Structure 1
């Protein structure tokens, strides 16, 4: 699957659409649809196909029963539609409990985003170098920063902590979804694949465990623990805990004196 970069469209028009800035009234019949209808149809297409490339103006128009040209009444093009889709998905995220400490709040935020990526895998096919500058995306960032406000970090460090946590979620969720997609397309679980691969590997003397003792020991332990070659969900939660440990050490070092 090829990656898609958001933010390629007209920033003014995209931002106006994201924030619901009304265009001047037009003469003629009342539009059959709303921009929100178009966005929901596009999200449904991407979810069903498990692929952002499935979303084209033509296919969204077919889904809504209108002509492709009429869809440009609501969105200028695919680039702006992508920004709207991302912001729409971010609207599903929720705020952590108000009484949570910073560590529990960041954990809740990370778990919420992990679940979002699994509901909408196409989000991971988008290169978000430029944020969708909509209300839900702003609210997402605000909640993330609020979780680490007042704990002893500078503003730039707060931004870096948020990027570190959300980057971990994104990378491990991608591994999780890639793994699920491989199982689905191959028709084999990891255990079934290994049952076929292990006998072949055993026939090759150079691949003997004696030549790779650490790989053999650790790989066997991990395989038995996860019943698979890897467990992205375990890596996500283990990695998140270690990241939070490091932040905690940094904060403690500043208050120790």
Structure 2
């Protein structure tokens, strides 16, 4: 995954982005009926990002996918920044509500698992900065689900917001590791186990790197490696970390009740 080298979301005109996100259309213009809808442009951009990465999403490339001229695409979106907002909000629409009647731990777990899966379907989301989120209906619904999971359990509003940020931050961090590992396996042609099989004999031949010098890391590393068949397991880290986050929230709630 490379960094975004062109205009990012949040850099564009927020008023026009919000109008597009909420489907507030400008006054109709005279002339031929447009060949496309804004939704067509967004779907084409998402498909391009899924197939390659976010750097591939340019006005020119999206226009090529739709068989139109780049200039004609500005009829639908003012620029790349607004397009990224639309793309992000569009895929947020894939997120679903937890089942009714779940306790707050199960509901928040369901929310986190849903986001973990979304990031694996659309890895480019990890390239989108989160400081200025798209102010669209699907992104509002995402935040609403996160807060609804802990509504009424004894947290203040600022704490509820912090919980939402803590959980989504954990999801993003561990999903990034998971996707990085998968990309390494693709580009090198080696699984983690195969990589370690090549590295270990070399390392074992270096006296200064033996267990006598690093007894704790040697013991723990071997145990973790045997458990995960790899140097790390991001899926385990995600679920272990989430459980510990939920434990901390539960402890805070219990303290408030005393």
Report if TM-score (shorter chain) is over 0.5.
yes
Which residue pairs with 2:131 in the alignment?
Answer: 129
Residue 3 (structure 1) shift? 4.2
Match of 1:32 among 16, 20, 35: 35
* 8 A contact 1:3–1:127 mirrored in 2: no
The 2-side partners of 1:208 and 1:175 are apart by 27
Contact 1:6–1:129, Cα closer than 8 Å, also in 2: no
Unaligned runs of 5+ in 2: none
Q: Secondary structure at the match of 1:209?
A: coil
Deviations 1:73-122 (A, max 9, x none): 00000000000000001000001112011111000000000000000000
2:156 corresponding residue in structure 1: 154
* Helix, strand or coil at the partner of 1:145: helix
Alpha carbon RMSD of aligned pairs, Å? 0.8
Cα deviation for residue 178 of structure 1 reads 0.5
User: Could you say which residue in structure 1 is the equivalent of 2:223?
Assistant: 221
Distance 2:22 2:87 in 1: 13
Quick check: 1:95–1:143 contact (8 Å CA) kept in 2?
yes
TM-score for the superposition, normalised by structure 1: 0.98
Offset, 1:153: 0.4
Q: In the TM superposition, what is the alpha-carbon distance from 1:154 to its structure 2 partner?
A: 0.4
The count of aligned residue pairs is: 255
Unaligned stretches of 5+ in structure 1?
none
Structure 1 Cα separation of the partners of residues 138 and 15 of structure 2: 17
Corresponding residue for 1:120? 122
Please show how residues 3-22 of structure 1 align to structure 2 within 5 Å.
Answer: 3=4, 5-22=8-25
Give the aligned partner of residue 58 of structure 2: 56
Contact 1:86 1:132 in 2 (8 A): yes
- Partners of 2:153 and 2:205 in 1: CA distance: 57
For 1:251 and 1:163, how far apart are their aligned partners in 2? 18
Find the aligned partners of 1:3 and 1:216 in 2 and give their Cα distance: 39
Counterpart of 2:97 (choices 85, 92, 95) is 95
**Deviation of 1:6 (Å):** 1.8
Corresponding residue of 1:198: 200
Residue 83 of structure 2 corresponds to 81
Distance in 1 (CA, whole Å) between partners of 2:198 and 2:175 is 27
SS at match of 1:127: coil
